[in-house]
Amino acid sequence: MAGLLWRTVGACTACGGFYLLTHKLLGPLEWVLLALVIGLAFSRIVIDASAEFGWHFRSLLLKPMEGNHYKFQNFTVHVIEDDDHCRWIATHEIRTIVGNLATDHALAKIFPSGHRALGKNGEGYLRDDALVAHLANATSAQGIKFKNWVERNVAFPARRIRKRLGIVLPAPSAAADE
């Protein structure tokens, strides 16, 4: 935005300088030439300003969904990311996609640090690595496809961020520290 401001100041300066140089010499022809100079100086600025406004407006609209809205086939998957860059997926959404998934109580016993009750209703959520570990035993085609999708689009990017930041997580099957 600052670059756009400086380009606008430069264009105004160029147009003002052109006017000062030519207003005594050219008479009425000066206004025609000045219109051409203004058109040349400001056309790209107007185009860039409208494009920047469009991108800014788009980012404001998409900001609430950033990082938590994923699509698997025709299913929308909402992902919650915590401060440790762990990504959590609701178990009811997993059940909708895969079909057969252990109950929340069983998942909490299998993955003590990889399962949490989050939200107002205390819905069950599985951490990305716990979900991949659980779906490793999947035998249905949909379960295998979903496991591969989760690994590629949810778990791997989160794991890469945690590695870069030096965040070490307990194994999903380790006891929770709560």
**Residue 104 confidence (pLDDT):** 83
**Residue 90 confidence (pLDDT):** 87
Average pLDDT over the chain, rounded to whole? 82
Angle at 22 between CA 17 and CA 24, to 5 degrees: 125
pLDDT band at 65 (very low <50, low <70, confident <90, very high): low
Q: How far is CA 136 from CA 16, 79, 130, 160, in A?
A: 70, 20, 10, 20
Higher pLDDT, 10 or 64: 10
**Residue 69 confidence (pLDDT):** 67
Helix (H, G, I), strand (E, B) or coil at 117: strand
Any idea which residue has 């109950």 for tokens? 103
Q: Is the pLDDT of residue 67 over 70?
A: no
Q: Is the pLDDT of residue 68 over 70?
A: no
**Residue 1 confidence (pLDDT):** 63
Higher pLDDT, 24 or 94: 94
Question: Where are the chain's structural domains?
Answer: 2-64, 67-165
- Rounded-to-integer distance, Cα 129 and Cα 170, Å: 10
Q: Is the pLDDT of residue 140 over 60?
A: yes
pLDDT band at 47 (very low <50, low <70, confident <90, very high): confident
Q: Which range is least confidently modeled, 21-25, 46-50, 52-56, 164-168?
A: 21-25
What confidence tens digit (pLDDT) does each residue in 72-119 have? Answer: 888 888 888 888 888 888 888 888 888 877 788 888 888 888 888 887
- Rounded-to-integer distance, Cα 160 and Cα 6, Å: 39
Higher pLDDT, 53 or 4: 53
Helix (H, G, I), strand (E, B) or coil at 170: coil
Looking at residue 91, its amino acid is T
